[in-house]
Structure 1
Amino acid sequence: MADKKEKKSFLSRWGLLIFYVGMLLLPVGTHIWRHWQIEAEINRTLHSEEVQKKIEEDLKWREPKAFEAGGKIQSYTINYESKRIHPMGGIVFRAYINGDKTLTISFILDKNVQTEEYSLSSSVSKELSRLLEKAKSD
């Protein structure tokens, strides 16, 4: 009789331990899963044609001859390692111009909730600013 009670008590203690560990791990697992989903959505967004078009429009606004023969801006590469969520909403990321890591442009990508359209805000590095000033003087 005592053996059955001890065995039952032992199993119920392990059951409670497993339950508590599960309760602790569930929020952690949920957080990791949600973070993975957000990362995947950001990657899909940054790879979308609409965002690529907005980036090219911004670069052409900065230099009208961008992506043309004789233009100072010939290509850009998004630095996907730099992407993060902006505290006020949107996605912050950087791009390299012409494969040069000193020629950087930082973007904040926002999506209008009502119109579902993206908008970009950007700022350029000192080196890229000098290159663009040189392009204007040429």
Structure 2
Amino acid sequence: MGEVNPNDPRPPYVQIADDLRRAVQNGEYEPGAKLPSGRELAKQYGVALMTVTGAIGLLRDEGLVESWQGRGVFVTGQQHRPAPDVSVRLAELADIVEKQSADLADLQARVAALEGSRRTKR
């Protein structure tokens, strides 16, 4: 396990998930083993905690790990499901960002209208 490669076309969270998946498959982490904390992994890979969270989320979606609030992330020992297609996940995220951008534009228009109505009442 190592650092994220900036020249790799895969997003950093995918690189980390792939690296951790390989470690599980190679027996570095046996079923039931606890993974290092998110902060430890972030330091190890030289990334933000949110990037590690994304990687763990992928592994959780595959069924390779389970996370327990306050306890940590553990290898399940179950045969993992195929990883979801990254392009599908990115498309879902793009849809979310697009909706949030539209919501933000709507809120900005409402604030501008409210500020304009306050000015005319003075």
Give the helix-richer structure, 1 or 2.
2
TM-score range (shorter-chain normalised) is under 0.3
Q: Give me the TM-score of the superposition, normalised by structure 1.
A: 0.24
Higher-Rg structure is 1
Give the strand-richer structure, 1 or 2.
1
Higher relative contact order (CA 8 A, sep 6+): 2
Q: Give me the TM-score of the superposition, normalised by structure 2.
A: 0.27
